[in-house]
Amino acid sequence: MASTAPKTAADERYDGLDELDRKAQLLANHMKKSKHFVVFTGAGVSTSAEDHTLKVVNTLQAILTLTHMALVEL
């Protein structure tokens, strides 16, 4: 699989605010119509919640980030 990966990353693209708003509204509409949805995130969503002095954290004691709370609201 590594042999099929591109040798250099593609240039990043940025949408204008109008296009971003249009895409966000489209996503929101799809989510409203759905019965369930799944969000795949990277480790960065939880990074700011980590207590680096602890080795193991009970998930019931985890501290939510703003991103976690936003996903719950969705």
* Distance separating alpha carbons of residues 25 and 42, to the nearest angstrom: 23
Residue 11 falls inside a structural domain: no
* Distance separating alpha carbons of residues 64 and 46, to the nearest angstrom: 8
* Distance separating alpha carbons of residues 45 and 67, to the nearest angstrom: 6
> For residue 15, what pLDDT is reported?
93
Which pTM does this prediction carry?
A: 0.52
Residue 6 falls inside a structural domain: no
Q: What mean pLDDT do residues 11-19 have? A: 93
User: What is the number of domains present in the chain?
Assistant: 1
Domain that holds residue 70: 49-74
Residue 59 falls inside a structural domain: yes
> For residue 67, what pLDDT is reported?
86
* Spatial contact of 63 and 49, defined as CB atoms under 8 Å apart: yes
Given a cut of 70, whether residue 53 has pLDDT beyond it is no
Residue 69 falls inside a structural domain: yes
Residue 2 falls inside a structural domain: no
Contacts of 68 (CB under 8 A, 6+ apart): 45, 46, 49
Given a cut of 80, whether residue 28 has pLDDT beyond it is yes
